[in-house]
Amino acid sequence: MQPNLSGARWRKSSLSADGASCVETAFVGNDVAVRDTKNRDGGTLIFSRTEWNAFIGNIKNGDLDALP
């Protein structure tokens, strides 16, 4: 079931400056919503906090680095 995003507080990385090629995230209850800053009405991906934390952990560990 899709969480209610009407009151979501969307954030994007401070490293993105004013660039439009970013994603925004919002923590809504037990879910994390992700959308494209260039197409905010184009759809939203929803992840559980467990899935999101695993994703962030994999990034921090370098598990998702591009192959040489």
18-60, pLDDT tens digit by residue? 666 788 999 999 999 999 988 888 999 999 999 999 999 999 9
Domain extent for 46: 21-61
Half-sphere exposure of 60 (CA within 13 A, CB side): 6
Residue 8 lies in a domain: no
The DSSP 8-state label assigned to residue 29 in this structure reads T
- pLDDT computed for residue 19 by the predictor: 63
Whether the per-residue pLDDT at 11 is higher than 90: the answer is: yes
Residue 9 lies in a domain: no
Residue 6 lies in a domain: no
Given pLDDT bands bounded at 50, 70 and 90, which one contains residue 67? low
d(CA 29, CA 4): 9
Greatest CA separation found in the chain? 42
Winning range, highest mean pLDDT, from 2-6, 13-17, 55-59: 55-59
Domains in the chain, number: 1
Residue 28 lies in a domain: yes
The three-point CA angle 42-5-48 to 5° equals 90
Residue 15 lies in a domain: no
Q: Which pair of tokens denotes residue 52?
A: 């999101």
Residue 36 lies in a domain: yes
Of 27 and 2, the structure prediction assigns the larger pLDDT to 27
